[in-house]
Structure 1
Amino acid sequence: MAFGAGSLFSGWLGDKWSRRNMMAIFFLGMGLALSGISFVQTPIQLGVMLLVVGTVASIYHPVGTAMLVANVDKLGKEMGINGMWGNVGVASSALFTGVINEYFGWRAAFWVPGIACLVVGYLFMRAIPKSADGVSKKSAAGTARVSKSVMVWVIASLIITIIASSITFNSVTVALPKIFQERLSNLTSNTAALGTITFFVYLFGALAQYIIGHLLDKHSLKNVFLPLALIIVPALFLASTMTDYGLIVLTIVIIAAVFGQVTVNDTMLGKYTVDEWRGRAYSVRYFLGFTAAGLSVGLVSILYNEGGFDLMLKSIAALSVFTVLGAVIFPRENRV
């Protein structure tokens, strides 16, 4: 919840003060917070430190995405590349956490990425000049692609899609390692091996974001948006009863679709906002998305307790129908 709520203030401060300095605070603050978790002794201390992590993490998406979009020539391509590397990180987290936890313990799984964040923060401050905060007037992003009369449908589509797809995205990514642990027991029960499988599944999501980014520069948003939304619903429903290799194949499809949807959402917002307001626009997008995503953690737990992963995946499939609705009502662009 802090991850989502904090993004409102982070995006505003990035626009008003300095995106570059806010990102420096993100890297250094995250490094210190993660390293601090490795020293906790009680559940309360763990909860407090995770709250700090969520608050600091709220800086990255609204500020970092606005900084990225400010000077792009091909918005879809750059969003796809950024998303690809971001999700290589997501994929690597499952792999590295599984391996580090298996052989070095859970505390090391926090201080190792904590030190990595501190190193990257130092390199970031050395490499990125303060002039990077200049407001862009030349970016390919921020040009209206539909008439003002249908802009309300763009906004409605964004709100519906962001909430529904964020719950879907986070529910699947949070639950996937446990789904594999339960449903792949005939293949392996080793946490490092399960982390490796999860890593390769997430890599397909990263590849999908790269491909989707390029497609968004060549085709209208709606023509890319709608097929992705339509794929997710049946794939989740079928995955609810699958095990072993069949489950792995279906989760590749699901992860590719939900990760690709993130690129679509960020590109949509980038096209309809000017740079002066982009940090605040992304802060609202991530406030809605990450708050919904935060709620999804409890939702996964409730649904699992009521009917296992079968009920959880079928329920998320039903929720994903709203993403299809968002894609349907999204207007066609006046491509130029």
Structure 2
Amino acid sequence: MNRPATVLAYVNAAHFIDHYAMLVFPAALIVMAPVLGYDYGELLPYATPGFVAFGAGSLLTGWLGDVWSRRHMMLIFFIGIGLALICVGFAATPLQFGFTLFLVGAFAAIYHPVGTAMIVAYAPRLGREIGRNGVFGNLGVASSALATGLLAQYLGWRAAFIAPGLASIAIGIAFARAVVHESREGHKAATAASRVPKEAMWRVLAALVITVLASSTAFNAVTVALPKLFAERLTELTTSPALLGLIAAGVYVFGALAQYTIGGLIDRHGLRAVFLPLCFLLAPALYLSAILSGPALLVASVLVIIALFGQVTINDAMVGKYTSDRWRSRAYAARYFIGFTAAGGAVALVSMLHAQGGFTLAFQVLAGLGLMVIVGGLIFPAERAPELEAQAAE
């Protein structure tokens, strides 16, 4: 029998790797493009196949996690994404980048439906563990910008892909030895009926779909654009790729702190009490990011990251609370299929808007998505108090 702490540790490591791997290319592109003789905007669209695979692939991987083995799928994740990153490191043409980044996205698609379902099954406290897991994903985003900048500057851009690829394979080997496949009989099931009235479930679903569509697109666009935004508007501070990565990493740390805090608040106060106030933060923060520069931009960016990463914790807790273990991977697959497939177009959207009106236009458009998040928050129904929910579940 697997120890919950061991499983959760490896799942957290997988979340770190997942987000790290998906953002190496946008961060490395600042160094890669001049070396390869291209402009930033010419190569950025070749990341799109990977982000589309990241979302679309979750339907298959979630189904396999439920009907086959979540443990085996996670092993494939560690080894597969490591090999795919190494392949990107050896690519030389735009088409090769598009294909190898597609492979990275396809293997990355395993984590969210499978890994998040494992968290719900093994977590002693759902909100706390989802929040903690979100911190690892956030640190993966932050470390990707920082480590990629350092590796690209001192060892070359190819090392920025090969080094994390080797690390992922090594962790996968350790995971294979420490975690075994086991029956999921007895894992915790959701008790949705104890949380909201049956006739209000459509509001839960509507709120989830709206917020996932809007926040996931904004999330992907912001994480892809942030290094370039800082390079353009923080010229006095970003004098090297390594320093640029350090500043981006510092901003993402606030998102990690927000996720951990929000996870704990969900356990104590319920989803809606945390969900609704957070919804009103994203739109104004994105609009301010569109028009500000210098230190003021850093403050606005911190607010954007807090809102976006906090929303990820809310959405994951929502699915975990309202689905049973029997088909939880498939429920997360649907959640991430909607989110990441929509987000896949964010890369092309950022590239197009940046070409037409710079990041001012791009972030103004993203602020409109923030208004959709507010709609989702207003639709979500009130839940029973945590103590009443616990009594109803007994």
- Measured against the shorter chain, the TM-score band is over 0.9
In structure 2, the partner of 1:200 is 250
In structure 2, the partner of 1:80 is 131
In structure 2, the partner of 1:14 is 65
Paired residue type of 1:292: A
Q: 2:232 aligns with which of 182, 186, 193?
A: 182
Paired residue type of 2:250: F
2:286 paired with 1:286: no
Which shifted more, 231-240 or 4-13? Answer: 231-240
Q: 2:209 aligns with which of 159, 182, 201?
A: 159
In structure 2, the partner of 1:40 is 91
Residues 76-129 of structure 1 deviation map (CA, whole Å, 9 limit, x = unaligned): 111000001121111111100011111111110100000010011011111112
Paired residue type of 1:287: F
Q: Distance in 1 between matches of 2:287 and 2:64?
A: 41
Q: 2:378 aligns with which of 301, 315, 328?
A: 328
Q: Distance in 2 between matches of 1:187 and 1:126?
A: 45
Q: Is the 8 A contact 1:71 1:136 kept in 2?
A: no
Q: Secondary structure at the match of 1:130?
A: coil
Q: CA deviation at 1:136?
A: 3.8
Residues 282-314 of structure 1 deviation map (CA, whole Å, 9 limit, x = unaligned): 000000010011111111111111211111111
The RMSD of aligned alpha carbons is 1.1
Q: Distance in 2 between matches of 1:66 and 1:45?
A: 33
Paired residue type of 2:357: G
Q: Distance in 2 between matches of 1:46 and 1:242?
A: 33
Q: Secondary structure at the match of 1:187?
A: coil
User: Do the aligned partners of residues 13 and 275 (structure 1) sit closer, same or farther apart at CA in structure 2, a change above 3 Å counting?
Assistant: same
Q: CA deviation at 1:238?
A: 1.3
Paired residue type of 1:238: L
Q: CA deviation at 1:41?
A: 2.5
Q: CA deviation at 1:137?
A: 3.6
Q: CA deviation at 1:142?
A: 4.8
In structure 2, the partner of 1:23 is 74
Q: Secondary structure at the match of 1:70?
A: helix
Q: CA deviation at 1:186?
A: 2.4
Q: Is the 8 A contact 1:70 1:135 kept in 2?
A: no
Q: Is the 8 A contact 1:135 1:275 kept in 2?
A: no
User: Do the aligned partners of residues 143 and 137 (structure 1) sit closer, same or farther apart at CA in structure 2, a change above 3 Å counting?
Assistant: farther
Paired residue type of 1:234: P
In structure 2, the partner of 1:102 is 153
In structure 2, the partner of 1:241 is 291
Paired residue type of 1:104: L
Q: 1:171 aligns with which of 216, 221, 226?
A: 221
Q: Secondary structure at the match of 2:373?
A: helix
Q: Distance in 2 between matches of 1:191 and 1:34?
A: 20
Q: CA deviation at 1:166?
A: 0.3
Q: 1:301 aligns with which of 336, 348, 351?
A: 351
Q: Is the 8 A contact 1:181 1:194 kept in 2?
A: yes
Q: Secondary structure at the match of 2:134?
A: helix
In structure 1, the partner of 2:172 is 121
Q: Distance in 2 between matches of 1:138 and 1:5?
A: 27
In structure 2, the partner of 1:91 is 142
Q: Is the 8 A contact 2:251 2:301 kept in 1?
A: yes
Paired residue type of 1:30: I
2:326 paired with 1:276: yes
Taking structure 1 as the reference length, the TM-score comes to 0.97
Taking structure 2 as the reference length, the TM-score comes to 0.83
Q: 2:105 aligns with which of 37, 54, 69?
A: 54
Q: Is the 8 A contact 1:6 1:59 kept in 2?
A: yes
Q: Secondary structure at the match of 1:186?
A: coil
Structure with the greater relative contact order (CA < 8 A, sep ≥ 6): 1 or 2? 1
Q: CA deviation at 1:152?
A: 0.5
In structure 2, the partner of 1:212 is 262
User: Do the aligned partners of residues 20 and 108 (structure 1) sit closer, same or farther apart at CA in structure 2, a change above 3 Å counting?
Assistant: same
Q: 1:267 aligns with which of 317, 336, 339?
A: 317
Q: Distance in 2 between matches of 1:307 and 1:136?
A: 55
Q: Distance in 2 between matches of 1:44 and 1:150?
A: 48
- How many residues are matched? 334
Q: Distance in 2 between matches of 1:268 and 1:138?
A: 15
Residues 229-258 of structure 1 deviation map (CA, whole Å, 9 limit, x = unaligned): 101111111121111111111111110111
Q: Distance in 2 between matches of 1:135 and 1:82?
A: 24
Q: Is the 8 A contact 1:239 1:247 kept in 2?
A: yes
Residues 144-172 of structure 1 deviation map (CA, whole Å, 9 limit, x = unaligned): 41111010111011100100000111111
In structure 1, the partner of 2:279 is 229
2:115 paired with 1:64: yes
Provide structure 1 residue ranges, at least 5 long, that are not aligned to the other structure. Answer: none
Percent of residue pairs bearing the same amino acid type: 54
